[in-house]
A and B are shown apart, each in its own frame.
Chain A
Amino acid sequence: MENLLAFTVVGRLDCRCPAHYVARDFEAGIRRPKTGVEALMGNREEPDGLEKRRRDLEAALAARRPKEPSNAGGAKTGGVSGYGNALRLSSEFIAGILVGAGLGWFIDEMAGTSPWGLIIFLLLGFGAGVLNVLRSAGLVAEFGAKLSKGGDDPQGK
């Protein structure tokens, strides 16, 4: 019952909001228009300017929005539970370090530069591990996606 009431109130607010979201004074200044079209035709001064700005903002936000869900999707792939997420992040980090250490050790074995390859690649592996974690948490752009131009979006991502 209460829900229903709330819903109808929200619904009413919703359908009248374009008028109500404009500052009150402006609205008072306009004669109550019969239709929305007439309002557009009639006086397009202040309220219209505000309306236009609001629409522009809406469009700008909408243009920005697709990036957020795709990012969130990337972070969500770890699993529904925090447990899955924790395992995922830790495995990313450990994998980075392991690969760095393995690569350094291999290079040392090949080139005989005994401690240096291991040291340098272990540090690089640490960097890669941090990058992996940030990336899978959705805090850093994906591979090669940094500072992408806007026109590349239709390509699929």
Chain B
Amino acid sequence: MANDPIHQFQIAKWIPIEIGGLDFSFTNSSAFMVATVVAAGAFLYLTTSSRGLVPSRLQSVSEMSYEFIASMLRDAAGNHGMRFFPFIFTLFMFVLVANLLGLFPYFFTVTSHIIVTFALALLVIGTVVVYGFYKHGLGFLKLFVPSGVPVVIAPLVVAIEVVSFLSRPISLSVRLFANMLAGHIALKVFAGFVTSMTALGIAGAAGAVLPLALTVAITALELLMAFLQAYVFVVLSCMYINDAIHPSH
């Protein structure tokens, strides 16, 4: 286990459950998703429970996160978009807290598995498609026909736009997953260098200072990435939802 950088992503079944031949086991991934939800929920609930007119530090953190997402959503999707605020805010808190929890040593990073991020992205795109058709009917399909395109090349343009639209959940999920995976592997590899170089003797131990310093630096970078990726995920979700609300500008 010591030097295997992939080991941290292995799924372990904690409570095996099987229903009708399907695997519903409670794994370490599920456990950390539950932990994420509990941590995010408890944080927001406890910090805002006092409802001070002059907010305490923690209360102002949760108020700032609220304001942050609300203003971003309003910018991206207008006032109509605010009906998606609970969805977007939940998404943001889930991804952010999952990323941050993953930074603790020996913790499992939920968002480093593409199936999790892909499910989140499908949720976003599903919302966009369902709401778009519900609100605009077939007019939603105008999204794929840019106005002012000559009839001759319209089929080609529409085909490319459709493929481009379908690629959105992929790029949304791959970006988050790849960032988390690459960051954690890099962290583990450099941390592994420290131990293996120290084992070489005095000279190795002296040289091990370099990867140790790098590990510290990468940890800081990962902290930034944890926030940034949650933000990017949610910003793009807002832009896609804006398409559902106003398909043809």
Q: Interface of A with B (CB < 8 Å)?
A: 73-74, 77-80, 84, 87-88, 91-92, 94-96, 98-100, 103, 121, 124-125, 127-129, 131-132, 135, 141-148, 152, 155-157
Cβ of B159 within 8 Å of any chain A Cβ, yes or no, is yes
* A156 contacts B78, C-beta separation under 8 Å: yes
* B146 contacts A144, C-beta separation under 8 Å: yes
> Which single residue of chain B is at the shortest CB-CB distance from A129?
B167
* B166 contacts A103, C-beta separation under 8 Å: yes
> Smallest Cβ distance from A113 to chain B, in angstroms?
16
* A99 contacts B170, C-beta separation under 8 Å: yes
Question: What are 27 inter-chain pairs, A to B, with CB distance below 8 A?
Answer: A73-B75, A77-B232, A77-B235, A79-B232, A80-B228, A94-B171, A95-B167, A96-B163, A96-B164, A98-B170, A99-B163, A99-B167, A99-B170, A103-B166, A121-B163, A125-B167, A128-B160, A128-B161, A131-B160, A135-B164, A141-B146, A142-B249, A144-B143, A144-B248, A147-B148, A156-B81, A156-B246
> Smallest Cβ distance from B218 to chain A, in angstroms?
12
Q: Which residues of A contact B79 (CB under 8 A)?
A: 156
Residue among B145, B161, B175 making CB contact with A88, cutoff 8 Å = B175
* B239 contacts A74, C-beta separation under 8 Å: yes
Chain B 166-188 residues near chain A, CB threshold 8 A: 166-168, 170-171, 174-175, 178-179
Q: Which residues of B contact A127 (CB under 8 A)?
A: 160, 163
| Other A-B pairs beyond A143-B165, A156-B78, 10, CB < 8 Å | A79-B232, A87-B178, A88-B232, A95-B171, A128-B161, A144-B143, A144-B146, A144-B249, A146-B148, A156-B245
> Which single residue of chain B is at the shortest CB-CB distance from A73?
B75
> Which single residue of chain A is at the shortest CB-CB distance from B174?
A91
Q: Which residues of A contact B243 (CB under 8 A)?
A: 142-144
> Smallest Cβ distance from B231 to chain A, in angstroms?
8
Q: Which residues of A contact B77 (CB under 8 A)?
A: 156
8 closest pairs, A vs B, by CB?
A156-B78, A95-B171, A147-B148, A128-B163, A146-B146, A95-B170, A128-B164, A95-B167
* Chain B 232-249 near chain A by CB (<8 Å), digits 1 or 0: 100110010011011111
* B159 contacts A124, C-beta separation under 8 Å: yes
In the bound assembly, the distance between CA atoms of A128 and B161 in angstroms comes to: 7
* B178 contacts A131, C-beta separation under 8 Å: no
* A155 contacts B147, C-beta separation under 8 Å: no
> Smallest Cβ distance from B10 to chain A, in angstroms?
25
